[in-house]
Amino acid sequence: MLDRADTSAAPVQYRHATALVQRDAERRAAVAEAAHMVRQSKWSDRSEVQEFVAVKQGNALRGSYMRIIEIGPRGICTLDPSTRRLTNRWPLTRVVRVTADDQCGVDLLLSEPVGGLFCLPLAVERRVSFALATPGESAQLLETIRAQRALQCFEQRSLIRESPDESSGRPPLTES
């Protein structure tokens, strides 16, 4: 025997699923429009900093929200797209791993320092997920982060080679 509550639950679930699909489509359209605006803006011509418009995949409490991701020599920053206010910043040295999936998602695995005055200095890994407008933009974001990390490593090595060893008074290392 069917209860009336059971028969009315199916349309509610269908409406909920339809609303989720519609919200996802609206979010992707907003990301594509914002990405176009960033490409046309005065900030996109800076060669040292690249910007990407993405949807930050939050937890169940915060949900998903739009962010502009800036990648440059100083690290990775997220900005609020309406005010361009800095919301997060991570140095490139904290990036443990960057991965992209088959769709438009990018996951950053970051090393977050934990500890205080009387604690041992420990690091905890934190995962941050973004969804970009297209898989091509995800791949470009991935390559930009990897290129900036490689450039930073190269610059650090060249600084080490150029500076003399102060403790021994030896001249800097040179390529042979």
Structure tokens given for 46: 């800076």
- Quick one: pLDDT at residue 81? 92
The full DSSP string for 46-114 is -SS-EEEEEEEE--TTT-EEEEEEEEETTEEEEE-TTT--EEEEE-GGGEEEEEE-SSSEEEEEEEEEE
Q: Is 162 helix (H, G, I), strand (E, B) or coil?
A: helix
**CATH class of the domain at 7-162:** mainly beta
Name the residue ranges covered by the structural domains of the chain. 7-162
Burial class (CB in 10 A: 0-12, 13-18, 19+), 109: middle
Compute the distance between CA of residue 161 and CA of residue 60 in angstroms, rounded to an integer: 48
Query: What string of pLDDT tens digits covers the 176 residues of the chain?
Result: 444 545 555 566 666 667 667 777 776 776 666 555 555 543 444 457 889 999 988 777 778 889 999 998 888 999 999 999 999 999 988 888 888 887 888 888 888 777 666 666 666 788 888 988 888 898 899 889 888 888 887 777 766 666 555 555 555 555 54
Burial class (CB in 10 A: 0-12, 13-18, 19+), 12: exposed
> Which of 136, 128, 27, 146 minimizes the C-alpha distance to 81?
27
pTM for this entry: 0.59
